[in-house]
Structure 1
Amino acid sequence: MSTTSGGGAPARGSAVRAWGRALLGGAVMAGALGAGNALGEALARTVGAEGYLRQLVPAVLVSTLAVPLVLLWWAGRPARLRPLGLGPLSSAPRAFLRGVAVTGSCAVVVLGAGTALGWVRWSEPDPAALVTFLARNAVVAVLLEALPEETTLRGHAWASLRDRFGGVLSALGTTAVFLLVPAASTVVQAGVSRAVGGAAPPMGLAPGGQDPVAYLVLLGVFGLTLVAARTAPGPAPLWTAIGTHVAFLSVNRVLFEGAARGAGWSAEAGPAHAAVLDLGYLAVTATVFVGARVMSSRGRGRIQRRPTGVPEIPDIER
């Protein structure tokens, strides 16, 4: 597999440097997530922020700490050597909505099948509360998780590995770095919280109350799905991954935490069924993105093999 978005052989740089740069992206994200949450909580306490504003403050800090560092790292390089995938700003909204639409549609199909099988029981929806929750959650999800994680990991870490390795190893490597971030961020958050006089949260591989193995399996599948979104055809593919990230968080927060979060809609499912549905719609989402990339690659291959002088076939006949 080629390593650049335009095809060609991998750049034969140092493998150690490639892994070092990828891990640096993970370290930036872990540091920003841990420090941003700790400092955001301290700042919210200081100014007396409550409710939604208390969620928004650390989210803004995380993006502020992580994203500019990555952009500065790549800023001095020629455009062809800056493959973060952010693309032109004008393409960002469409790419973002592509990620949301594909992921949301796959979730509807899989969860609809689960509901038909009796695996999921839904509460009575409150449309106004649901729309409000989704809009507010999307802002926090973009700033706290989707934008900084995609920029540091599927942007910086992926591009660093892709400069040296093939696509499969780069995907697995980026996902491995992704799996390290949550645990590392808890260490940073505990240290910064103590430094600013706050209560240090528990450190661990998974959020409190979750089985670490199940959490890491879900995170691994999610990470590979995000790589599939990041490498899907189209301009600004990193924004497609950001849209996929936000859609996943939104669906899961309604599905599994809707009642606790006041989302206006919630569901009940047994642990085994919930895991199957969660992993299932991620797998379908990844399959759609990979399928789109394969079809796009085959289309480009047919065009490149066409003899000189043979007219191009109109799009409607392809």
Structure 2
Amino acid sequence: MKILVTGADGFIGSHLTEALIQAGYDVRAFVLYNSFNTWGWLDHIDKTVREQLDVFTGDIRDPFGVKQAMQGCDVVMHLAALIAIPYSYHSPATYVETNINGTLNIVQAARDLGIQKVIHTSTSEVYGTARFVPITEQHPLQGQSPYSATKIGADQLAMSFYQAFNTPVTIIRPFNTYGARQSARAVIPTIITQIANGKRQLKLGALHPTRDFNYVRDTVRGFMAFLKTDKCLGEVINIGSNYEVSIGDTVRYIAELMHAEIHIEEESARLRPQKSEVERLWADNQKAHDLLDWQPEYAGVTGFKRGLQETIEWFTNPDNLKRYKADIYNL
């Protein structure tokens, strides 16, 4: 089975690519073209794994390159996207081009080439602030940021190809994934890198919202479970821990694990507009259990703290920490 992973150079994509190679799959990694010829996080995975990769450099917005990358592949795992919510406030057009048009390029090429399966990546942000918890896949979709609006559009577009053309699309909807290699635009790396760099007066945004944090190993296991079944075609499936925790409690857990006494300073630049803030996320993962035989290994407060500890160990490695600029706000 030949698998194309788009966004393979990113946080989740690099972990997924690495796991697929280790599991014996033939993988083509679609990475964003750049003049430095860098492959993002794939440059930093184990050399023996990296040497087995078939790397394609391109741009998900280019339909010709996308179709070329998909030639000869059986499955496409589509992760390429712009995901930073604050950046979507002032550059929304780039999110439409990347998230919506990029997804159109994938499903159109999949239809033309007869791809066996397209696994399209969604996000829990499409639900907006929870109207009921835990959040099932039947929860209404609410675009509370340009980012989430484009992901709703991408999801609907992908599913329309399943409905209209029987393109074999399935949608994975991960909740808040965290772990090694994550961008400091996300809250957990922001907290860890500030403390690791000696700061005790932390600059953060809102502390009251709750999230369902999902350790990256669990998210990757969710992606890989889709490869082993055809029961999920035309389905949307949450991948979440079914554990709700506030940002404030998350800060306290990290400070405890890092043995640091901290004080928190709310920085206005890090706050979302009031109506755009997603106040509550908590995943119902029963469907993933029923259709994928998947359940989180890092569940509950104990699993969350174990995942945080592993994440802290990676970020506090000097070779990793130096890649982050903890003294500035990562938009």
Normalised TM-score (structure 1) = 0.25
More helix by share: 1
Q: Answer 1 or 2: higher relative contact order, Cα 8 Å, separation at least 6.
A: 1
Which of the two has higher C-alpha Rg?
A: 1
